[in-house]
Amino acid sequence: MSSQNQGYGPCHPEFQKWSKMKIEIYTDGAARGNPDGPGGFGAILRYIDPKGEVHKKELSAGFDKTTNNRMELLGVIIALEQLRKPCDVDLYSDSKYVISAFNEHWLDGWVRNGWKTSSKSPVKNRELWERLLLAAGPHHIIWHWVKGHNGHTENERCDELATTAADAPATELYHDDGTDLKKILKKDF
């Protein structure tokens, strides 16, 4: 079969053999009273189908006690875990913590050094980084940094989702102890 589309849609098995879906993901994290206040993440997944129709999904959740970095990571993780097959992903975040870990190969060094930083201290948020590596594994991802609070439409929307989630009533917030983080993957999105 040639690499040209034979009229198959993206769900047809023949199409899937040679073509990956192209997905755009935008994420942001927020924390109030960082490091021990409530926080949240927001994410947008966008796909344009072969007919030119835009499909968009927004995700968010809030936590009672967390950090900004944890929320930045969780937004990326949850978004990537929505993808059901390998995709070509353009991922946009205002988190240099997340983007630099991939683009400047921090993660490669951390893994090579047994999850120790260059100063030999343990990598913070290791369980989330490991989960992110698993979520990213099947995909080809280009990591893009965007300046936060600078008028980027999707980044501004993700910030709104993240801060709204962080500001939710305490009874609606998850607890960032590892247990609720596992639950959120299975039931909420």
Active site residue ranges? 28-29, 72, 94, 149, 159
* Cross-strand bridge partners of residue 54: 48
Q: Residue 59 corresponds to which amino acid?
A: L
Quote the CA–CA distance of 21 and 89 in Å, as a whole number: 8
CB atoms within 10 A of CB 15: 16
Three-state SS at 45:
strand
Which pair of tokens denotes residue 27? 């994420």
| Helix pair 153-166, 68-81: axis angle to 10 deg | 110
